[in-house]
Amino acid sequence: MSPEPGHPVIVFDGVCLLCSRWVDFILRHDHAGRFRLAAMQGQQGRTLLMAHGLSPDDPVSFLLVEQGHGYRDTDAIVRVLGQLGGSWRAAGAMLQVVPHRLRDPAYRWIARHRYRLFGRRAQCRLPEPEQAWRFID
């Protein structure tokens, strides 16, 4: 499946346990079903990472692609939280108050060490059948 026009796409690491928890969070709180999800191990995920200047073989950034524009790191997280609404929008606004020079390096440190800190799967995360329509690839 390729990205649907008008739907933001979150590219995630399908073997990272922290990333899988983030995907579970999105699936639980995105009641409108606006976000689509693409594992970086899939063709669409790899293509989106490369198109936005990120290495699909060693990504250290979270990528949100929205209307053709790529958002990385904490900017991407803030945008996702803002679109979830309610208290998540407020959490995103609070994160946005923290200067980039502090929040992005902290994010990148966690991203570089995500397997050691949180673990990894032997193979890519598979969607539940009732949520498969949210996933690309």
Task: Tell me the per-residue pLDDT of 20-76, one tens digit each, with 9 for 90 and over.
Answer: 899 999 999 999 999 999 999 999 999 999 999 998 887 777 899 999 999 999 999
Band of pLDDT at residue 126, cut at 50, 70 and 90: confident
pLDDT surpasses 70 at 6? yes
| Amino acid 123: pLDDT | 75
Residue 17 and residue 118 in contact, taking contact as beta carbons nearer than 8 Å: yes
For the entire predicted model, the pTM comes to 0.88
Do the bridges between strand 63-66 and strand 36-39 make them parallel or antiparallel, or are there none, so unpaired?
Answer: unpaired
| Amino acid 1: pLDDT | 45
Angle between helices 73-84 and 86-97 in degrees, nearest 10: 150
The pair of structure tokens assigned to 53 is 């200047």
